[in-house]
A and B are shown apart, each in its own frame.
Chain A
Amino acid sequence: MRQVWIICKRELNSFFDSLMAYVMLIAFLGFTGLFTWLYVADIFLRNEASLQVFFGISYWTLFFFIPALTMGQLAEENRSGTIELLLTKPVRDRQVIVGKFLSTLILIAIALACTIPYYITVANLGPIDHGAVISGYLGLLLMSATYVAIGIFASSISNNQIVGFLLAIFIGIFFHWVFGMLAMGISGIFGELFNFLSTQAHFDSISRGVIDTKDLIYFFSMITVSLVATEGILSKKHSS
């Protein structure tokens, strides 16, 4: 665990040193702020004290931002050869991967924490369902963790960051949108299957305030599968 934290700390520092973290925070807050408060279907137009608009915007904003954060995490290490340096220190492949995963997740959590003033503002404007807000944030965090894991997997495949980004988007879009679409069009067992695979379905149910074990199992198994697959790719890279 100590090794994981050391790796995680370095990654976080590197996000902030390279300005990546600031760009991400500003862009995320700007984007969600604009659509939550000022533009088209904003909170005032809806005229209800809820953060559903914000959660809906974040659902898509994070989908595109996360691959940008994860794309270099292993691709850059592979390209520059620092992965060799790292893995010849007393660290396991798994600790490196989990450390990187946590660092990105912490950055996302910081970004989400910066939106707590939205919550406070809305709570002052009218009666808000506190439970729904908390579970909405939880849903965003779980969804982010899933895409971070997918992003890191995509990043491990090639030495090229752009490939890492595009691959993460490509894999992600199936869970984010395509499976949900298919589930709506197909009935029966396949419909059920696609519905289970869709992030949207699980995110929606959590952000409505219903925390079901089925949803938790979905998110945790997605994260585990992605990270285990990454470990497989990484160990294959340096053993062959």
Chain B
Amino acid sequence: MDIVIERLTKKYGVQRAVDDISFRVKTGEVLGFLGPNGAGKTTTMKAITSYLVPDAGEIHVGEFSVFQNPEAVKKVIGYLPEHNPLYPEMAVIDYLRFVAELHGIDKSRIRERILEMVTVCGLEGEKHKKINELSKGYRQRVGLAQAMIHDPEVLILDEPTSGLDPNQIVEIRELIKKIGREKTVILSSHILAEVEATCDRILIISKGKIVADGTSDDLRKHAQGKEILHLTIEDADKNEVIPALQALDTVDLADLTKGTENRYEVQSRPELSSRKAVYKLCVEKGWVLTEMTPIVTKLEDIFHELTMN
């Protein structure tokens, strides 16, 4: 089920939490929502679940409008809210039953669905415990289990892996990926590695506006633009090396790395790579090339660049 968001705006007082955002998520896609705190991630997610009524804009989940037909939308959405609120005095299994009943799952299938969720989310040992006896990681699993119990077409997860230990994080990511193959998933996070590992597409939002949209490779290319290489060339005179590197066709700028005697930084012209040319040059001149490292722009840098302006 596709999600289409058109010109969504939500104001809190004079501050625009979400400012005229439009995007589309297709079935079989996992969309990662990335942004600094207060960027509008949670607000957008709440609007999709029909919990929050925006000031302007339209949201469609499949064929249903969130504002005209919220009941139909709620049925197909599984939602894990921020901070994962749960009823502390309920036992895990009772809680899952309650949610399953609210979703109108057939009586004969409720047991089977609960057991499946308990298995999938690794809650076998805790299913009869009360929620307030669980650790944060297990509560998070309960939150995920309740979001997925009715096998929803659309999953909205606000920081799904917060509070989980590294092993659990890997498990949950795998689970999300698996679900994402057939369903539509939107998840928010401020852990960049997580978004990179789980999502097909990344949306970076800052101060209520979309500042980047694409796969992690797209974003890298966009931010990086030019290839940068770090070289270490031994048995050569630096006064000879620099002009020779600079003379290569593909090289835009070559210079000695500050504070070193034989390390160089080479920036290529846009869209070109100098790796082969550098190697050939060294062979030709008899220089010993002991290091050639392409510098990968980290998602962190892109994020920083996009959200700090």
Which residues of chain A have a CB within 8 Å of any CB of chain B?
2-3, 6-7, 10, 13-14, 17-18, 80-82, 84-85, 87-92, 238-240
Contact = CB atoms under 8 A, between A and B. Distances in A.
Given A10-B90, A89-B102, A90-B103, 15 more contacts: A6-B98, A17-B89, A18-B89, A80-B88, A81-B83, A81-B85, A82-B87, A84-B81, A88-B50, A88-B51, A89-B99, A90-B71, A91-B102, A238-B53, A239-B52
Interface-central residue, A2, A14, A84, by most chain B CB under 10 Å: A84
A78 to B, nearest CB: 10
Contacts of B102: 3, 6-7, 89-91
B85 A80 contact: yes
A4 B259 CA distance: 73
Contacts of A17: 89-90
B251 interface: no
B148 to A, nearest CB: 13
Given A90-B74, A239-B52, A14 B81 contact: no
B75 A90 contact: yes
Nearest to B85: A81
A240 B125 CA distance: 41
Interface centre among A82, A84, A89, by most B CB within 10 Å? A89
A88 B86 CA distance: 13
B85 A92 contact: no
A88 B49 contact: yes
Chain B interface size range = 20 to 34
20 contacts: A2-B104, A14-B87, A14-B89, A17-B90, A18-B89, A80-B85, A82-B85, A85-B79, A85-B85, A88-B49, A88-B50, A88-B51, A88-B79, A89-B102, A90-B75, A238-B52, A238-B53, A239-B52, A239-B53, A240-B53
A239 B12 CA distance: 11
A235 to B, nearest CB: 9
Contact of A88 (B81, B89, B104): B81
Interface in B58-87: 71, 74-75, 77, 79, 81, 83, 85-87
B85 A90 contact: no
B84 to A, nearest CB: 9
A161 to B, nearest CB: 14
A88 B154 CA distance: 13
B49 A13 contact: no
Contacts of B88: 80
Contacts of A6: 98, 101-102
Contacts of B249: none
Interface string B162-175: 00000000000000
A58 B146 CA distance: 42
A90 B78 CA distance: 11
Nearest to A235: B53
B74 A89 contact: yes
Nearest to A6: B101
Contacts of A80: 85, 88
B74 to A, nearest CB: 4
A74 to B, nearest CB: 14
B130 to A, nearest CB: 9
Q: Which 10 A-B pairs have the closest CB atoms?
A: A81-B85, A239-B53, A90-B74, A88-B49, A82-B85, A89-B102, A6-B101, A88-B79, A90-B75, A84-B81
Nearest to B49: A88
Contacts of A238: 51-53
Contact of B90 (A14, A81, A87, A91): A14
A85 B86 CA distance: 8
Nearest to B46: A84
A87 B51 contact: yes
A82 B103 contact: no
Contacts of A7: 102
Contact of A82 (B74, B86, B101): B86
Q: Which of A7, A13, A88, A238 has the most CB of B within 10 A?
A: A88
A89 B51 CA distance: 10
Nearest to B79: A88
Contacts of B300: none
Contacts of A2: 104
Contacts of B87: 10, 14, 82
A81 B81 CA distance: 9
B133 interface: no
B261 interface: no
Interface string B98-113: 1101111000000000
A18 B50 CA distance: 31
A90 B46 CA distance: 15
